[in-house]
Amino acid sequence: MHRIIAKEQLSDEVFRFVVEAPLIARERRPGQFVILQLDSDYGERIPLTIADADAEAGTITLIFQTVGKTTHLLAERQVGDEIRHILGPLGKPTHIERFGTVVCVGGGIGAAPLYPIAQAMKQAGNRLIVILGARTHGLLILEKEMQAIADELLICTDDGSYGEKGLVTEPLRRLCAGAKPDLVVAIGPPIMMKACAEVTREFNVPIVVSLNTIMVDGTGMCGGCRVTVGKETKFVCVDGPEFDGHLVDFDNMMLRMRAYKEIEEKAHQEYHCRLNPELNRLRQYENT
Ligand SMILES: Cc1cc2nc3c(=O)[nH]c(=O)nc-3n(C[C@H](O)[C@H](O)[C@H](O)COP(=O)(O)OP(=O)(O)OC[C@H]3O[C@@H](n4cnc5c(N)ncnc54)[C@H](O)[C@@H]3O)c2cc1C
Ligand code: FES
């Protein structure tokens, strides 16, 4: 069991939890993630990036967006409550070195997994430029934290409510067309990572993306997180989550991510429909 030590709401849909997990806190490195399960052994298992960790306090930080049933249930938890299972650290750590100038691009909740990577890139002596994008100002997260570590911070919102109006690819294109960066790291929705990969390809700038496929076991056994990278089949949980963005087949990835859409929507609707007595009875049974 893992106790929730702190809870903070960062935006309309985003929460930051600090959770007890001493062994994971000690071992984790930037780019790695955990798979958590809220209650019963039959509940959904969801992957979340370790946004930060304190090895001395034995805690990890998770930043998540409420999108479906499990993330909504997680957001209801309070300080002192427990999460039954947390598995990790999983995935290969980010390759960190002194590349020169590194541009880190975060779209929406992608800023959360990006933060530990940006921090490590800065600590390795890189000049760090961060581009943060969100649909609207209320959904922008980690601005202060990124400001504290970046040499330059550029902000875009789709609706122009804050920063530059437009998509993250616009400042990225300007940077690539100017004094070319040595590396781009992009994390966000698949469509955004695909667009960033197209821009960097044009300018021959290397790009690393962190893929957020559906995951089940997180050990390379179930095949749920399968992606095609450079015409080879890879498992995001054990071969990734980071890959060369120029080699990822994003269209195939997006197609596979839509596979459970109907079931996910049903679970989400049922979550919002708590007056249904049969459902409540089943949920109580599941939690015993
Ligand atoms: C390695 C990895 C690290 C991740 N790190 C974070 C993180 O730090 N913070 C965070 O908020 N999210 C992160 N995600 C995404 C997170 O796992 C999903 O948002 C979560 O599983 C959704 O669960 P749910 O039951 O609430 O919603 P579901 O009902 O399962 O899904 C609801 C909606 O979200 C979409 N969705 C489902 N799974 C994903 C996914 N993996 N990525 C993108 N969209 C998805 C579905 O298409 C659907 O539209 C990460 C994913 C991976 C693979
Ligand atoms: S989550 Fe099962 S193989 Fe990766």
Render pLDDT for 98-116 as a digit per residue (tens, 0 to 9). Answer: 999 999 999 999 999 999 9
Q: Does residue 263's CB lie within 6 angstroms of at least one atom of ligand 1?
A: no
The whole-number average pLDDT for the span 159-187 is 95
How many whole angstroms from 226 Cα to the centroid of ligand 2?
7
| 94 confidence band (pLDDT: 50, 70, 90) | very high
Contact 105, 111 (CB under 8 A): no
How many whole angstroms from 256 Cα to the centroid of ligand 1?
13
The whole-number average pLDDT for the span 5-10 is 94
Residue 197 above 50 pLDDT?
yes
Q: Whose CA is nearest to atom 2 of ligand 2?
A: 222
How many whole angstroms from 228 Cα to the centroid of ligand 2?
14
Residue 276 above 90 pLDDT?
no
Q: Does residue 223's CB lie within 6 angstroms of at least one atom of ligand 2?
A: yes
CA distances from 277 to 56, 273, 280, 281 (A): 45, 10, 5, 6
Q: Whose CA is nearest to atom 3 of ligand 2?
A: 220
**Could you say which ligand is closest to the alpha carbon of residue 91?**
1
Residue type, position 171, single letter: P
Residue 219 above 50 pLDDT?
yes
pLDDT of residue 275: 43
pTM for this entry: 0.86
DSSP result, 232-281: EEEEHHHH-SEEETTTB-HHHHHHHHTTTHHHHHHHHHHHT-TT-HHHHH
Distance CA 45, CA 37 (A): 5
Q: Does residue 17's CB lie within 6 angstroms of at least one atom of ligand 1?
A: no
Selection from 238, 210, 208, 212 nearest residue 223 by Cα: 238
Residue type, position 13, single letter: E
Residue 280 above 60 pLDDT?
no
Residue 288 above 60 pLDDT?
no
| 235 confidence band (pLDDT: 50, 70, 90) | very high
